Amino acid sequence: MTVCIEQSIPDAQVVVEDKNHIHETNELILDGEFVVPDTVVGSDPPEVNAFGHTFRDYDVETERQKQVEECYRMNHIHQTYEYVKKMRDEYKKLDKVEMSIWECCELLNEVVDESDPDLDEPQIEHLLQSAEAIRKDYPNEDWLHLTALIHDLGKVLLLPKFGELPQWAVVGDTHPLGCAFDESIVHHKFFKDNPDMNNPAYQTKNGIYTEGCGLENVMISWGHDDYMYLVAKENGTTLPEAGLFIIRYHSFYPLHRSGAYKHLMNKEDTENLKWLQIFNKYDLYSKSKSRVDVEKVKPYYLSLINKYFPEKLRW
Ligand SMILES: O[C@H]1[C@H](O)[C@@H](O)[C@H](O)[C@@H](O)[C@H]1O
Ligand SMILES: [Fe+2]
Ligand SMILES: [Fe+2]
């Protein structure tokens, strides 16, 4: 049986299978086994990815997985509190490139993500697949369609014009710095060689933060999420806060999948997280080999870009 509940967020109707529990407070709790609505991928929820493995299996032994693991090894060694601070300062200058959102979508065709065990298609396919999937189920939330289209654009950081950052500084899941590394983080074992491990102030549950301080005040590992958030915000997008939150934290699986670090969230984060958890199902399970006809859907997305963004943005 399927249960529909009205959320307190505007216009949001969340459909959950009844094996996910609903609190008396009307709070939606996802137990990690959310079943994707049929329309995303046909009549059955996908059990396996395009390579025949379960989604987000980081332990299966394949050639591809070795590359994924190496990406996380480097990420966990080199992403420190100081490093993130430095990157935020550098990239908030937005002095690299001037271009439109659609031009950036096209650039993403040249990008390969080495952290992803579920996808080896060109990135533009993933953008359109996730946007089209969420559009089908939430036809009236045009901001959500556009959010899906642009959520991974920050991966252009890999390209020469944007600083040609290494994979470990652009892709993969994200996590906070300045407090203890949670066990749920993919390939947690590699943190043992992270210099922040030598700072006792960073080794407690709250670390340098206070409970409920809000994610906005937390340093999250540097990558495509935070960069795209910065670009959207600084260029004056009119996307709603929930859209910006999705862009900024969609790789923060320790939070939105495992429930770690919730003690750092404030009230707004809790509201926005509901939308992120909806979005995540489309981001993850729409990854497939079926192609979207770019030319056919392009006019629709151009109209959304026009509605929510200036024509040219500083990157
Ligand atoms: O490998 C993937 C990929 O890099 C995604 O873009 C990111 O959002 C995910 O969190 C990560 O697991
Ligand atoms: Fe992403
Ligand atoms: Fe994505």
The one-letter code for the residue type at 165 is L
Contact (CB, 8 A) for 255 and 185? no
Q: From the alpha carbon of 174, which atom of ligand 1 is closest?
A: 10
Q: From the alpha carbon of 252, which atom of ligand 1 is closest?
A: 10
Tens digit of pLDDT for each residue in 137-192? Answer: 999 999 999 999 999 999 999 999 999 999 999 999 999 999 999 999 999 999 99
125 Cβ below 6 A of ligand 1 = no
More confident position, 29 or 282: 282
The candidate with the shortest Cα–Cα distance to 165, out of 215, 109, 209, 221, is 221
> What ipTM describes this predicted complex?
0.98
Q: How far is the CA of 24 from the centre of ligand 2 (A)?
A: 33
Report the distance separating Cα 54 and Cα 171, nearest Å: 20
Report the distance separating Cα 212 and Cα 252, nearest Å: 17
Q: CB-hemisphere CA count at 13 Å for 238?
A: 9
Report the distance separating Cα 32 and Cα 258, nearest Å: 8
pTM for this model (two decimals): 0.87
Q: Say what the pLDDT of residue 45 is.
A: 53
Judged against a pLDDT cut of 90, whether residue 286 lies above it is answered with: no
Cα dist. 177→49, 84, 150, 218, 263 in Å? 31, 8, 25, 8, 15
- Determine the average pLDDT of the residues in 289-308: 94
Q: How far is the CA of 108 from the centre of ligand 2 (A)?
A: 12
Q: How many helices (H) and strands (E) would you count in the chain?
A: 10, 4
Tens digit of pLDDT for each residue in 93-112? Answer: 999 999 999 999 999 988 98
Q: Is 17 helix (H, G, I), strand (E, B) or coil?
A: strand
